[in-house]
Amino acid sequence: MIKKPFVLALAAALPLLLASQAQAGATLQRVQQSKELRGVLLESYPPYSFINNKNQLDGFDVDVFKAVAAKLGVKLRLDTPSWEVIAAGRWRNRWDLCICSMTPNKERAQVLDFPAQYYSAPAVLVAHAADSKTRSAADINSRKVAVQQGSSYETYLNKKLVIEAPGAVQPSYPFAKVTIAPYDSEDTAFQDLSLGAGKRVELVISNLVTARERIARGGKFRIVGQPLYQEPNWVAVDKGDKEWNALVKKTIAGLHQDGTLSRISKKWIGSDITR
């Protein structure tokens, strides 16, 4: 099924920053000419991005996208392909920017550029509420653990995660080997976990904020022990357009400085995770 993009028209209240770029790369030039920013994110990753009761995309990442488009004075179009497609890079002019809670790693850095970090949150292990035997990541040996396919969590379980971000603390691996259950949608992974520990999967790895959101919505889950590692989440662009990278970096920096990102974070998370 082909997903229709979500289009959000934003008034160009600010001067068009794009016009100042004399030597535009391919992506920047396309945004300049079309006056449209084509963004990509996940459809089911609350509270960062999800479909609300009005059947519209909503959430933290969506609001950050709106703020970026407003800064640039352009219209915003959002699309929600699978995570694998987003993280694979080589977008072939389909999208201009990913504000989609992506953690830079060695593999992704080969096909994507990461102009700026916009928030940070821990990765955590989530068990069914009735599972009392799992107390830390050291207890997941030979267990079946669900993850979003192509995510940094999958790379972590394969013990190959190298976070390509300045000052990043690399994760440790207090387990021997696990059975990885990759899912196209994290929603489906949590649905299977809700059936009971070991029915289909035994555990899920997710973002701390997302895990808390699912628990708050009535999910019969619990967060296990301490976070697995800290996830610095960066905006991503297709590789190779230095001018576009520079403008995205400048725009995100402006949203940090004027307090916009902090306000969005407090709205959706209840605290500021953008510093």
- The CATH H-level superfamily of 6-120+233-268 is Periplasmic binding protein-like II (3.40.190.10)
What number does CATH give the domain 121-231? 3.40.190.10
> In the chain, which residues fall in CATH 3.40.190.10?
6-120+233-268, 121-231
CA 85, CA 78: separation in Å to the nearest integer? Answer: 15
Nearest one of 216, 264, 236 to 100, comparing CA atoms: 236
In this prediction, residue 7 carries a pLDDT of 54
Residues of the chain with pLDDT under 70: 1-24
Question: pLDDT tens for residues 56-105?
Answer: 999 999 999 999 999 999 999 999 999 999 999 999 999 999 999 999 99
User: Residue 20's pLDDT is what?
Assistant: 41
3-state secondary structure string across 45-93: ECCCEEECCCCCEECHHHHHHHHHHHHHCCEEEEECCCHHHHHCCCCCC
Would you list the DSSP string of 204-255?
EEEEHHHHHHHHHTT--EEEEEEEEEEEEEEEEEETT-HHHHHHHHHHHHHH
- What pLDDT is stored for residue 197 in this prediction? 86
